[in-house]
Structure 1
């Protein structure tokens, strides 16, 4: 969230009084994050165990209504990763119900999280009015969402009759002693008050900064049946977009299946950073080794748990002789090859490209060259492999491997190289 300078109150509260007050609720003790535009189109989680996100849709900054361009895609990303997505509205200097109704009608019409989910008002700056906040929270509740008031105890208690509000609606309060990386709540700095449902315990959840929150009451289950993001109370466009078929789980993924890289994946098995353009795009698994897979057009190993299956079929698309493709902005040969069940090497060969890395929007490429584009298979060279050993393993010859892969020196191949055979 947008932060302002704050005073930190040192108030010791026992963990047992809050964190597990209602163990019957599945989400009690779950941790999660909140996002604004600073976390980008897909947002970012701090840890694999995070269970929810709360994204800013936009709000009112004292002079006008504004939107966060990242809101819808952040909700999509969160749902795609199996997290419970929620919403908050920046609510600065909203001092009359006419203005409040205009803001809320505008925002609630575009909420992408399901009915029943949290819609919080972020009140941490400007002029605040107790009656207007109470009216606004009730207005959100009447429209089928779970209202919460977010802020810092010092600001809210100094500018509002906070007891009147907390007697009717839940609070989401932030308080922390410093800006050191804090992966778990420090309840010695808990901002003690009635009806606190979410505790934002740090703005440095991970190195580089990220808000970390803990659910104290199970409120982040709201809008999700049994806390399951795949079974929301209602469907929304963002949720529909975030749901991709995941027909094959874990290590059951096999060569030939079409997959997409999870938004939450950060590094390849080699330790290299996965670029953003890779995520959410469809690829075909061309090689599998244990719990690692190699994708056509990526050529770097990924964990099977970092990819989601889109289609359990192992058959590639049908390609007609003489078919062509017009290059679109942002495409490369690997992306185009994946669409047609071929390889970037084959596309480069049949189009006589002098530099496969350089293609331009509007360029027409042949995707068949009047012959089959399919190769017999792929092999990823491992440490200690030789061409003769690979040829024997896959029932081919050294000569064919040299020809198919344009190898200038058959005695020099390197680990990680992808060979067609």
Structure 2
């Protein structure tokens, strides 16, 4: 029996692994001693959530093999026992490719094995197999392509059987449903139990990663909405996780601003709910200009507050107009019925 799967890196960040058919997903974790893939946790957690078998690989830079092994292990420590581990040993950006590669590979793998109890596979191009001789009983993950044409999963990849390996990468231009770009396609020579045996040879129960504690953010909800609009909290579900207990409150205000009438937003602005200047513009977002125009339009009107004893005629006389005009623009069905404190629009 064999399994079909993909290997991915930050180049495929955002891939919906639940939508892509794959028995397993191998995720790039780190390179050298100075790079961790920004997508490593997102992709690893996505693979597990989608029910895929998980693996990680480290791209060799050819510095200290021990230091690189430790860097790799520290990056994926939370997943040890749940994931197959691998060393990616290629020519590009790798000082050890032509400098005692066999020794380097063995030193790296021995260190990973000693610190995790997991024997890593070694990814290597078929043209470089001599560099993986004499490294011990570490399985090989061999890359060799027939061509660069688009392809789906293959039952019998080109040149299969020409060398012994635990896994074969046979395309870097794979195309699968659920993703619009190229994918590396692989065939693992074993079933899920064989994969898990490599990932967790002692069959120990991995220590579960504690669930993240939702943060309690302080500050005014208006400031949090502004930060969300600026992209400081990312998109959901990341945004909801970062906002924690304030997420519903923040989203509620965003929804309110988007759906409320301009009259409501103007009234709230006059009440000081949204502040002034840039703060008001930033929280109101695309509604800011609409609200500003409504406020400026209102400011152009002359408003008279009715005093005790005044009539519509006496008010009209003060402003050089007539009571008929005031009744019309204020919608007064009975011009004789006004009361103290009532606001009358003059113009």
**TM bin (shorter chain):** 0.5 to 0.7
For residues 10-159 of structure 1, the aligned pairs below 5 Å read: 20=1, 29-40=2-13, 42-43=14-15, 45=17, 48-60=20-32, 65-94=34-63, 99-111=64-76, 112-115=78-81, 117-125=83-91, 126-127=97-98, 128-143=100-115, 144-157=117-130, 159=131
Where structure 2 has 5 or more consecutive residues not aligned to the other structure, the ranges are 92-96, 213-219, 231-235, 237-246, 268-279, 286-347
Q: Is 1:204 matched up with 2:173?
A: yes
For the pair shown, the structure with the greater C-alpha radius of gyration is: 2
What is the CA deviation profile of residues 32-61 of structure 1, one whole-angstrom value per residue up to 9, with x for unaligned ones? 211122112x3454964312211111222x
Residue 191 of structure 1: how far off its partner (Å): 5.8
Residue 86 of structure 1: CA displacement?
1.8
Deviation at 1:223, TM superposition (A): 7.7
Distance 1:115 1:330, change over 3 A: same
Secondary structure at the aligned position of 1:93 is classed as coil
Structure with higher strand content: 1
Contact 1:337 1:343 in 2 (8 A): no
| 2:158 counterpart SS class | helix
Measured after TM superposition, the shift of residue 138 of structure 1 is 2.1
Q: Distance in 2 between matches of 1:37 and 1:234?
A: 26
Could you tell me which residue of structure 1 aligns to residue 274 of structure 2? none
1:235 to 193, 200, 208: 208
- What is the TM-score with the length of structure 2 in the denominator? 0.56
- 1:99-118: CA deviations, max 9, x gaps? 11111122211214232522
1:351 maps to: 265
Structure 1: any 5+ residue segments left out of the alignment? Answer: 1-19, 21-28, 226-230, 242-322, 354-358, 365-421
Q: For residues 341 and 360 of structure 1, what CA distance do their matches in structure 2 show?
A: 14
Q: CA deviation at 1:184?
A: 1.5
Which of residues 142, 151, 154 in structure 2 aligns to 1:182? 151
- 1:203 offset after TM fit, Å? 0.7
Contact 1:34–1:211 (8 Å) recurs in 2: yes
Task: Please report how far the alpha carbon of residue 147 of structure 1 lies from its aligned counterpart in structure 2 after TM superposition.
Answer: 0.7
What is the CA deviation profile of residues 256-280 of structure 1, one whole-angstrom value per residue up to 9, with x for unaligned ones?
A: xxxxxxxxxxxxxxxxxxxxxxxxx
So what's the TM-score if we normalise by structure 1? 0.47
Taking only aligned residues, the RMSD between alpha carbons, in angstroms, comes to 3.8
- Corresponding residue pairs, total: 232
Structure 1 residue matching 2:120: 3-state secondary structure: strand
Q: Judging by fraction of residues, say which structure has more helix.
A: 2
Give the CA deviation at 1:148: 0.5
| Equivalent runs, 1:371-410 vs 2, <5 Å | none
Which region of structure 1 is more displaced relative to structure 2, 342-351 or 83-92?
342-351
User: How far apart are residue 75 of structure 1 and its match?
Assistant: 1.5
Distance in 1, Cα, partners of 2:197 & 2:226: 42
Aligned counterpart for 2:227 among listed residues 305, 310, 329: 329
Quick one: distance in 1 between partners of 2:144 and 2:281?
Answer: 52
Distance 1:222 1:236 in 2: 21
Name the CA distance, whole Å, in 2 between partners of 1:39 and 1:330. 25
User: How far off its partner does 1:91 sit?
Assistant: 1.0
Query: How far, CA to CA, are the matches of 2:258 and 2:31 in structure 1?
Result: 51
